[in-house]
Amino acid sequence: MSRQRQIFFILLSGLLIYLNSLRNNFVWDDILVIVNNDFIKGWSLLGEIFSKPLFYLTNNEYLYYRPILALSFVFDYSLWGLNPFGFHLTNIILHLCAGLLIYRLFGILLNESHLAFCAGLFFILHPLNTSVVNYVTSRADILLLIFSVFALTLFLKAMNYKHYLLSLFCFSLALLSKESALVFPVLLVFAGEMHYLVMQTSQGSEPKAKMRRIWYIVFIAVAIGYIFLRMKIIGVGFNLSVSGKIGILSILATFCMVILHYLKLIYFPFGLHMLSNIPIIQLQDNWFVLPLVIAIILAVFFIIYRLDKIAFFLTGFFIIWVSPIALLSLKNPEYFVQQMAIMEHHWLYIPATALIVLTFYLIRRINKPWSERFYKIIFISFALFLAIITVKENTYWKNNSSLFKQTIRYVKNSSTAYRNLGWIYLSKSDPGSAIQMYKTALGLKQADKAKAIVYKELAYAYLLNNDAQRAGEAAWESIKLNPDYAASHGLLGLLYLEKEPNRALEECKKALELDPFDSMAFNNLLQQSRSDRGITTYLITKYTKMLGGQRNFNAYRIYRSLGVVYLYADMDSMAMSNIKKALRVNPYDVKTNNALAICYVKKSEVLLAERFFKRSLRLNPFDKEVYGNLAFFYSELGRNKEAALMRKKAYSINLFD
């Protein structure tokens, strides 16, 4: 098959097997990183993308600095708004580009057209990669691959310093796409030396070894510079320690078991699901055994090197890319407390292809009369097998409901999975089923702070199920486990609001002391402020004092809070002034735009009110509150058909389904 036909077949195959994923919704962290992320909704906050961590606008721990990923979402949003179709289409296109780059890279490294075709095709088809292509937030893995492979290809083919500089630039983009790019310099040295010194290809254009090795040092220096930028300037550190105490031998043994499980999934990808985990193997460190184990591993690699250098390269390529898993698999506290190691499928997005190519390379080396026909049968059968499973796997990523139901079929020890299903049932107005999910989650061993979150969510489910007594009991259990959990105090304030207003006030104030922007406590106090001007004074004083020490991006939340307080107090000019200040800092915040629309409603400026309500819905077409406000607005104007349509959307919109 000619090179052009190989490329066409790779692209066509990838497009066909992922067509059914274009109907999928946003799932899991997509809601935080895309739907609720103001940074991606226009170009005004571009500076914030490069100066803030990925989850800055949430309450999550700041562990990720991925500005290139966020920038890709800005491009998507500028084209599609928050239509999931567009984001999924971009993921598919990028995945196809990644497949072509894999095809090109292995063509250079192995100097064998058919093995390059094997690499590109099976990379595109493998169902393990559905967790990257269908999960929009996992685009970080695709971008990491694209920039890393670009950088490696340019380095291997470099003829002068310009090629090296371009390779370095691509490596920098890889670092800004995902932290795993830090292993790239190791791969660069390994692949560079194997390509030029062992495989002895492209001898006529090989740069001098001295120059090449100087550039190795430059790449390592850039990686160190990235670490400094991230930790000292951006303020996002690296959590390199595992979740608890565990010896080196235990880490190595668990890593080996993870790899064995991955090998099974590479060749027999049945029952794929999120949040896979296996028991941690507990071994006592022995400083005689450890060097012996390392010596055996090195001896095995040396034997592979002497027997077949291509097999050695492909094995090394796999090991280098999966090596971070040794620590990553032990870093999830939810599973570590259960003495389990996690195994994310997207960690295999780059390395799995090397093992598949190695397999077909070894099959091709069989020198028998029947071997060529046998090879073709295996190749075609495996390709069809992978394609069929991939098409099926895409359906499990249709929405959060199908994703987490598929997960708990296989994972019975994940509090995260049951909690997410609880929220899904609540979004469907089924608090009874949500309660069962939360109770199941509470039956799992987990840290106190994690259990406190589940109790709070259980309390909310009881509240929606009209069981105030059990809701209160669950809320207090949450506070006992984590006294500093603002959301539980805010919920308790809501529960006390009708019968014990003084205790409600006390709990809401406690919540705002812990988290000044806790929505439940803030909204409770706003409701009470209508009959108690003292609460209005308390809120204005609180946020005005905060504003004295906040003149950065965070100030928009303070201005917004002040504006809403003034709005409830019928101090319309002060409300308008503060809300407009919030918009100047962050023009893409839905709550601020919605509040400004209400200000214009109160001023009877109909056109401006409608404009900002609609702007709010463009920023987040899944926001039920804005639909409800717009429905009331249209109803007051006598535009009953439009009001009915907004009420229908407010009822039917469900981001979780």
pLDDT (tens digit per residue) in 75-96: 999 999 999 999 999 999 999 9
- CA atoms lying within 13 Å on the CB side of residue 395: 4
Q: Mean pLDDT over residues 34-50, rounded?
A: 92
Number of Cβ atoms within 10 Å of the Cβ of 366: 11
16 residue type, one letter: L
pLDDT at residue 121, rounded to an integer: 94
- For CA atoms 621, 38, 240, 264, give the dihedral sign: positive
Q: Which helix H or strand E contains 184, and what residues bound it?
A: helix 184-193
Number of Cβ atoms within 10 Å of the Cβ of 296: 10
SS3 278: strand
Q: What CA–CA distance (Å, rounded) separates 327 from 235?
A: 22
Cβ pair 390, 421 in contact under 8 A: no
pLDDT at residue 249, rounded to an integer: 85
pTM for the full predicted model: 0.92
pLDDT bracket for residue 304 (50, 70, 90):
confident
Q: Mean pLDDT over residues 414-439, rounded?
A: 93
pLDDT bracket for residue 243 (50, 70, 90):
low
pLDDT bracket for residue 244 (50, 70, 90):
low
What percent of the chain has pLDDT above 90? 63
pLDDT (tens digit per residue) in 162-205: 889 999 999 999 999 999 999 999 999 998 887 765 555 444 44
Cβ pair 526, 543 in contact under 8 A: no
Phi first, then psi: what are they for 604, rounded to 5°? 60, 30
pLDDT at residue 253, rounded to an integer: 87
State the average pLDDT for the chain.
Answer: 89
Q: What CA–CA distance (Å, rounded) separates 203 from 141?
A: 33
Q: Dihedral of the CA atoms 101, 105, 110, 116 (nearest 10)?
A: 0
Q: Mean pLDDT over residues 405-425, rounded?
A: 92
DSSP per residue, 562-590: HHHHHHHTT-HHHHHHHHHHHHHH-TT-H
Helix and strand numbers (H, E) in the chain are: 33, 2
Cβ pair 1, 117 in contact under 8 A: yes
Six token digits for residue 598:
């209400």
Q: What CA–CA distance (Å, rounded) separates 523 from 525?
A: 5
Q: What CA–CA distance (Å, rounded) separates 460 from 480?
A: 17
Does residue 286 register a pLDDT over 80?
A: no
Q: Which helix H or strand E contains 341, and what residues bound it?
A: strand 340-343
Number of Cβ atoms within 10 Å of the Cβ of 469: 9
pLDDT bracket for residue 331 (50, 70, 90):
confident
pLDDT at residue 326, rounded to an integer: 78
DSSP per residue, 363-399: HHT--STTHHHHHHHHHHHHHHHHHHHHHHHHHHTSS
355 residue type, one letter: L
pLDDT at residue 202, rounded to an integer: 45
410 residue type, one letter: Y
SS3 102: helix
DSSP per residue, 487-508: HHHHHHHHHHTTT-HHHHHHHH
